């Protein structure tokens, strides 16, 4: 009986140990930092369904987008993070915290280079960003640009992090290609236009949120354009289909056609 009791105890102990080891398997949680307590070495992260509190282990590694070797004190509420941790009976111990910048894509609605302010709109949503001291501006793979090189209406992707109630832009990128030419044909029903430069003619499909910039304002309409207008078209090549993301009129022809003549597909008369 004593032998059987010993074997049973060992079996139960083994099961308990196995259960403990299973709870100690590394896990991952993604969310937004809601609170940081440096003194207690704890921080809270809000996810899609819940908010979890973590204890930072003695060897917990914290890295930010702009600071690979960071500390717990560098975390700020609002930052998007990915936490690597282990749990034991409800206690979560973080071994790694990686901060990733938030991203917003839209069209530029306002720029103030002296104050380093950038406003970007996507549909009905508008966001205001403050360019950080080390903010990188990239225009078509050229990283030696500044806010002054950006233009109203351009489609950009802003990588940012919250800072004291503001959205601090760390990276502003404008991708795609540019075509400059004169309007050859417009189809308002299909939302397409053709433009020509020297011997090159291209057809563009306007994106749903493609702004048309006229006179520095991005509230233009396709019906405002005329055959012969000189345009600067920012576009993306989607497997041979050219999608216009921004259209800016640089100059109007000497004699503009009336609006009624450009509401359907047509070509200039010889």
Domain shared by 162 and 212, yes or no? no
- Asked if residue 253 and residue 205 are part of one domain, the reply reads yes
Model confidence, pTM: 0.67
Domain final position from 119, 140, 174: 174
**Hey, what are 170's tokens?**
């760390």
CA distance 32 to 16: 34
Number of folded domains that form the chain: 3
Same domain for 153 and 195, yes or no, is no
Q: What is the CATH number of the domain that holds 160?
A: 2.40.50.320
My answer on whether 54 and 83 are in the same domain is yes
- Residue 206 and residue 166 share a domain: no
Residue-level pLDDT, tens digit, the chain, 270 residues: 554 454 444 444 444 444 444 447 899 999 999 999 999 999 999 998 999 999 999 999 999 988 889 999 999 888 899 999 999 988 999 999 999 888 999 999 999 999 999 999 998 899 999 998 889 999 988 888 999 999 999 999 999 988 777 899 989 999 889 999 999 999 999 999 999 999 899 999 999 989 999 988 989 999 999 999 999 999 999 999 999 999 999 866 655 555 434 444 444 554
Q: Are residues 114 and 149 in the same domain?
A: yes
pLDDT of amino acid 269:
52
Q: Which residues contact 65 (CB under 8 A, 6 or more apart)?
A: 99, 100, 101, 159, 161, 170
Tell me, rounded to whole angstroms, the distance of Cα 111 from its chain centroid: 18
- Within 10 Å of residue 56's Cβ, how many Cβ atoms? 24
Q: Which residues contact 215 (CB under 8 A, 6 or more apart)?
A: 249
Domain hosting residue 198, numbered range:
177-262
- 220 and 257 both lie in a single domain: yes
């Amino acid at each position: 009986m004593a032998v059987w009791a010993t074997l049973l105890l060992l079996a139960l102990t083994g099961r308990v140990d196995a259960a403990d080891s299973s709870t100690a398997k590394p896990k991952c949680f993604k969310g937004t930092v809601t609170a940081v307590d440096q003194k207690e070495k704890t921080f809270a992260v809000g996810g899609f369904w819940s908010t979890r509190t973590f204890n930072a282990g003695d060897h917990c590694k914290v890295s930010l987008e702009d600071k690979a070797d960071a500390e717990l004190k560098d975390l700020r509420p609002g930052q998007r993070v990915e936490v690597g941790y282990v749990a034991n009976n409800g206690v979560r111990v973080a071994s790694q915290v990686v901060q990733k910048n938030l991203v917003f894509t839209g069209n530029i609605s306002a720029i103030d280079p002296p104050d380093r302010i950038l406003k970007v709109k996507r549909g009905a949503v508008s966001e205001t960003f403050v360019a950080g001291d080390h903010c990188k501006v990239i225009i078509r793979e050229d990283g030696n640009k500044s806010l002054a090189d950006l233009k109203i209406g351009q489609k950009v992707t802003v990588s940012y992090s919250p800072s004291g109630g503001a959205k601090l832009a760390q990276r502003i990128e404008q991708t795609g290609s540019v075509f400059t030419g004169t309007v050859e044909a417009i189809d308002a029903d299909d939302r397409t236009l053709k433009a020509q430069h020297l011997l090159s003619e291209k057809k563009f499909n306007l994106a749903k949120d493609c702004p048309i910039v006229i006179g520095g304002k991005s509230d233009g309409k396709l019906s405002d354009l005329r055959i012969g207008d000189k345009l600067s078209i920012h576009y993306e090549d989607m497997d041979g289909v050219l999608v216009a993301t921004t259209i800016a009129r640089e100059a109007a022809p000497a004699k503009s056609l009336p609006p009624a003549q450009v509401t359907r597909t047509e070509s200039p008369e010889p």
